[in-house]
Amino acid sequence: MSYINRSTQKHSTRTARAKSKRKAKGVAVTAVALSVVSLTLSGFAVYSYLKQHTASSVVKHSTTAVVSANLAGKNEGTVVQPSTKPGPSTPAETTPPAATPTDSKAANSEPVKQSAVKQPKVIYLTFDDGPSKHTQEIMDILARYQIHGTFFMIGNQLSGHEQTVKDAVEAGNYVGLHSMSHDKKKIYESGNSDNFINEFKQEQKLMAKITGVSPTLIRAPYGSKPEIGEQFRGDIADAGFKMWDWTVDSQDWRSSDNPKRILKEVKRQVHRDTEVILMHEKAQTVEILPEVIEYLQKKGYAFAVYKPNHHVSVNFAKDKRL
């Protein structure tokens, strides 16, 4: 919701900027025609110009980035929240997903400066089926690029990995829920949502005990399709959860012999302004992850981590309750 506010603010500032620009133009013409008052009017034009640039910098500062942002093609992205690094070199300041259409007119009229303000593209990297022996490796890679990931962990695997899970949260990653058992039979074949929700509630408690944070974002094992129908989704929402599927399936789980295929899948599927990439805690994923990140950076994406206060709805059914 707050994004919408920010977007509106951004848009209205742009409109104001456009207005002030037209005003400046009009003033300039008048200045030529009326040579007597030209000095005064030019002064005003300069004032308008300055005002307009000040406004643009205000927009930059006030548009909160919920991203572990990276400069495209560079490894020096800062974890900003909100961004504290002003100026045109500030990485894509993200109003996460498909919130506002880009004001291309404004973007074109001010070639260099405006490109930095342009709506950024955002990637959420998600890692399922941990914690595992690979969790730490994944976190190390993310830390190297100064970005964060969203993990969906299995309750029955938490025991023995408590410290890693804690570290993941403390490092700024989001640790979400992925059921206790990950057992298709147990969670889907009862005919209703009871077992499913009970497992997630149980895991939520466990996670709160370990990390001090009670996660609300879940990912259904194997995705929500086709097992989870409308009523089932309503039950999940009523239980206080949000549920993420994904927009890009890296198919990493079946590429153990060929990590390059994971990168290929990502390249083939990534095209939206906001993408949620499904990956798993697998050796091949760890191996290819740096290349995946660098590819996405070059494509101009910033990296975001899930924030409950800035929820983005990502489920196959496009169910806004979740």
Active site residues: 128, 280
Task: Looking at residues 37 to 96 of the shown chain, list those that interact with Zn ion (rule: CB under 5 A).
Answer: none
Nearest distance, CB of residue 220 and Zn ion, angstroms: 9
Considering beta carbons, is residue 44 or 253 the nearer one to Zn ion?
253
Nearest distance, CB of residue 77 and Zn ion, angstroms: 28
Residue 4, SS3 per DSSP: helix
Asked if 142 and 172 count as a contact pair (C-beta separation under 8 A), the reply is: no
What is d(CA 49, CA 47) in angstroms, rounded to the nearest whole number?
Answer: 5
Tokens describing residue 107: 């973007």
Mapped to the 3 state alphabet, what secondary structure does 80-120 carry?
ECCCCCCCCCCCCCCCCCCCCCCCHHHHHHCHHHHHHHCCC
Nearest distance, CB of residue 129 and Zn ion, angstroms: 4
Asked if 134 and 282 count as a contact pair (C-beta separation under 8 A), the reply is: yes
Nearest distance, CB of residue 285 and Zn ion, angstroms: 13
Q: Nearest residue to Zn ion, using CB? A: 128
Segment lying near Zn ion (by CB under 5 A), choices 80-88, 122-130, 206-214, 227-235 = 122-130
Applying CB under 5 A, what is the total number of residues that bind Zn ion? 3
- Measured over the CA atoms of residue 288, residue 250, residue 172 and residue 223, the dihedral's sign is negative
Considering beta carbons, is residue 52 or 179 the nearer one to Zn ion?
179
- Beta strands 67-68 and 79-80 are antiparallel
Site string for Zn ion, 208-237 (x = CB under 5 A): -------------x----------------
Considering beta carbons, is residue 128 or 245 the nearer one to Zn ion?
128
Q: Does 245 bind Zn ion (CB under 5 A)?
A: no
Considering beta carbons, is residue 56 or 173 the nearer one to Zn ion?
173
Segment lying near Zn ion (by CB under 5 A), choices 19-27, 126-134, 225-233, 292-300 = 126-134
Considering beta carbons, is residue 48 or 247 the nearer one to Zn ion?
247
State the DSSP code for 1. Answer: -
Tokens describing residue 286: 């760890």
Segment lying near Zn ion (by CB under 5 A), choices 53-61, 129-137, 167-175, 284-292 = 129-137
Nearest distance, CB of residue 246 and Zn ion, angstroms: 11
Amino acid letter for position 172: G
Q: Does 129 bind Zn ion (CB under 5 A)?
A: yes
Segment lying near Zn ion (by CB under 5 A), choices 81-89, 123-131, 254-262, 312-320 = 123-131
Please enumerate in sequence order all residues whose Cβ is within 8 A of that of 104, keeping only pairs 6 or more positions apart, or say none: none
Q: Does 128 bind Zn ion (CB under 5 A)?
A: yes
Q: Does 199 bind Zn ion (CB under 5 A)?
A: no
Considering beta carbons, is residue 129 or 199 the nearer one to Zn ion?
129
Nearest distance, CB of residue 207 and Zn ion, angstroms: 16
- Beta strands 67-68 and 301-304 are antiparallel
What is d(CA 120, CA 139) in angstroms, rounded to the nearest whole number?
Answer: 24
What are the C-alpha distances in Å from 195 to residues 159, 203, 214, 305?
A: 21, 12, 19, 29
Residues that bind Zn ion (CB under 5 A): 128-129, 221
